[in-house]
Amino acid sequence: MKFVVPVLALWSASLFAADISTVEEIVAKCNSDIVTRGDLDRNRRELLTELRQSGLSGLMLEQQMSDREKNLLRDKIDQLLLVQKAKDLDIKVDAEVTKQIATLQQQSGIADPDKFHEYVKEQSGMSYEDFKDQITRQAYTQHVIRQEVSEKLNVKHEELEKYYNEHKADFVREEQITLQEILISTDGKDAAGVAAAEKKAKDLVARARRGERFAEMARDNSDSVSAKEMGELPPYKKGQLAQNLENAVWSQPKGYITDPIQLPTGYLILRVEDHQKEGQAELGEVENQIMDKVIGPRMNPAIRDYLTKLRQEAFLQVKSDWIDSGAAPGKDTSWADPMQLRPETVSKKLVSTKTHRKRLLWMVPVPGTSTGSTSTSRS
């Protein structure tokens, strides 16, 4: 018997096929998430912008791009795995992200939400929603790495002591002081404005001395450019500060907060963050610094090992013409395209056999019943 397919049906099918176009290509599947070609193209553009902003150009720029774009897929999968792990661990970052964006908005000086969203787009090159999503993913990533990697890198005190004894010359220090500042500007203000600035400065000093966090107060109130750095200033050696400022802080203990100091530009409040004395530092004074030096070389390998472990546990498939440079050894991540799966075929005889066997199941005796005739027995 022959089957005839109408010409109209063939024509319609070919017309439909001609209209099909690829809107987006999936490059990899990572548990419940996917990586698309568009994702990697966007990351490539961001990388190029970052390298240009760092001052690279010409052959140096091309070399850096060539070296780092090889890991674009690896880095994207890394991020997906870390964000997924953060959600598995029930890590919460909403408050942290909201605070970070609020700080950015305050620094921009833009109160109107719509105008602030436009500002974010101009500065970052992405929509406000994408920008917020990026900050959220970064927060998830940092929390997981800190909780699952860095906090589990144990360093014994003996190891810190050994490093200190072998590098004592690195810890001979000059005397210097580290400060934080809050500046309340009086530029362009009349007498009333200057008086209001002085009152505000005195109120801030009182609040700081009652225990409010100076760094956050600097971020939220200071008119100095250091507000973006939470009021942090670089270390100063003896003689590098103006004499009146040095006199106000040099002999004071850590945590000391000055009264408002009147300057031509406003009222300055200083806090002594640290005062490093001249000479050989004791181990206890530099223990955190040594810890960073000891753990630093171990961090990247430890993070890579952790990400390899996450890959081993993940459902991960990568298309054959793409390479995950962080692939877990021995794990099969070959791409399985449902459109390419071949249907199984069976013969009519095999189907008949399977049907026959299925029917025979009815003949299997049920425990507690007669194995004889199918007729009802009467005793």
Look at 42-46, 63-67, 263-267, 343-347 and tell me which has the smallest mean pLDDT.
343-347
CA quadruple 314, 318, 324, 327: dihedral sign:
positive
Domain boundaries, the chain: 175-277
Going by the DSSP 8-state scheme, the letter that residue 6 receives in this structure is -
Measure Cα distances from 228 to 107, 202, 216, 217, 336 in Å. Answer: 7, 22, 10, 11, 49
Q: Which helix (H) or strand (E) holds 214?
A: helix 214-221
pLDDT digit string (tens) for 171-189?
A: 888 889 999 999 999 999 9
d(CA 224, CA 204): 15
Share of the chain above pLDDT 70, in %: 83
CB 280 within 8 A of CB 172: yes
Average pLDDT, stretch 35-58?
92
Residues 6+ apart with CB under 8 A from 365: 371
- Give tens-digit pLDDT for 54-105: 899 999 999 999 999 999 999 999 999 999 999 999 999 999 999 889 888 8
28, 325 contact by CB (below 8 A) = no
Residue 338 pLDDT grade (very low, low, confident, very high; cuts 50, 70, 90): low
Three-state secondary structure call for residue 181: strand
Query: What is the fold, at CATH topology level, of the domain defined by 175-277?
Result: Chitinase A; domain 3 (3.10.50)
The mean of the pLDDT values for the chain is: 85
| Alpha-carbon gap, residue 316 to 33, rounded angstroms | 10
Considering 241-255, 274-288, 353-367, the range whose residues carry the highest mean pLDDT is: 241-255
Query: pLDDT tens digits for 122-150?
Result: 988 889 999 999 999 999 999 999 999 99
Q: Are 204 and 141 in contact (CB under 8 A)?
A: no
Say whether pTM exceeds 0.85. no
Residue of higher predicted confidence among 55 and 379: 55
* Sequential DSSP letters for 14-27: HHHHHT---S--EE
In angstroms, rounded to a whole number, what is the distance separating the alpha carbons of residues 292 and 153? 11
H or E element, residue 269: strand 266-276
64: exposed, middle or buried (C-beta count within 10 Å: 0-12, 13-18, 19+)?
A: middle
pLDDT of residue 341 exceeding 60, the answer is: no
- What whole-number distance in Å separates Cα of residue 106 and Cα of residue 181? 18
Confidence of residue 279 (pLDDT cuts 50, 70, 90): confident
Residue with tokens 């760092």: 54
What would the mean pLDDT of 311-325 be, rounded to a whole number? 95
Quick one: pLDDT at residue 123? 87
Q: Which residue in 221, 248, 225, 224 sits closest to 236, CA to CA?
A: 248
State residue 365's pLDDT score. Answer: 45
